[in-house]
A = this chain, B = another copy of it.
């Protein structure tokens, strides 16, 4: 029977001009739906897991469209609460070459931001669940949501559900001080932490003290140090650190490291020609959770997670629409992109 995963957070309407058009040039917007935790749920549903997404959505057609977008991929939406006024929106302008992608958030006053504790019955939601995932964006959205996250973590913990969290610091939503306090509280319940070097520093002030080493070496050692400190502070079972190098808006290098039982496992690094970069981190989270739930070895775990997110960069929209077979094929080394007939 498929493992059951619950993710909780905000799903937004994503509006993006076609191709590389700027927002001021747009006379139409491609409409899709996405958000950190929803993206993880879709990844896992695509891998055949029993993934459920929990949120609050307005009762109207825009809210319904978000539900439909999730149902389409087999995500369980039965725990989504309907009510409130609006669905958060984000406008995405895809960058090219030296011109950066740009995101305009229009998420204030969304149904989930104004959700109340009583909206979610965590006891029932976690019935039979194996894993709970959320990101640092959710508690940042509103005070209520921070409280609800805490309640969810406690309920999950009591039921023996593994908890993962992607730190995902967003400075437009809260200050570093707020993040430190709230995330510090929440991370006490977290088993698997996902971060990049910046998030660890922004949220917890954790960085490497590395000195006088050659660049490449320094970084590897630095990442280990960050992961070690995070682990020491919160007692994480695993810490995964994603490593992105942005060459241009079109080209990024992408790799990651898994820190587990005091050891570091570095993945291959992929030079990526980007189709759509949004949701790249979430697809990493989805791959990581899948590998963990399927008891992959640490090196296989990090390779699967990175290959999954590498593929995501080639796919339009927030959602990572790939199969386990496709991820494994890449993780095992076939990155040639040869036609499959």
Contact = CB atoms under 8 A, between A and B. Distances in A.
Interface in A54-103: 60-62, 64-65, 68-69, 71-74, 85-86, 89, 91, 93, 95-103
A65 B29 CA distance: 13
* Copies of this chain per assembly: 6
A137 B326 CA distance: 27
B96 A273 contact: yes
A269 to B, nearest CB: 12
A326 B30 CA distance: 24
Interface residues of A, number: 79
Given A31-B29, A72-B68, A248-B337, A20 B316 contact: yes
A209 to B, nearest CB: 25
Contact of A337 (B62, B69, B98, B170): B98
Given A98-B335, A100-B336, 12 more contacts: A20-B316, A23-B62, A24-B68, A25-B316, A28-B29, A61-B93, A97-B273, A99-B311, A99-B315, A100-B340, A246-B336, A277-B339
B102 A340 contact: yes
A68 B60 contact: no
Interface string A31-67: 1100000000000000000000000000011101100
A314 B23 contact: no
Contacts of A109: 108-109
Given A31-B29, A72-B71, A24 B321 contact: yes
Interface in A325-341: 326, 330, 335-341
Nearest to A26: B31
Interface of A: 15, 19-32, 60-62, 64-65, 68-69, 71-74, 85-86, 89, 91, 93, 95-106, 108-109, 170, 172, 246-251, 270, 272-275, 277-278, 307, 310-311, 313-317, 321-322, 326, 330, 335-341
Contact of A22 (B28, B69, B321, B336): B321
Contacts of A248: 273, 335-337
15 contacts: A15-B31, A20-B316, A23-B62, A27-B27, A28-B28, A61-B104, A68-B73, A71-B74, A95-B339, A98-B270, A99-B337, A109-B109, A172-B341, A246-B336, A247-B337
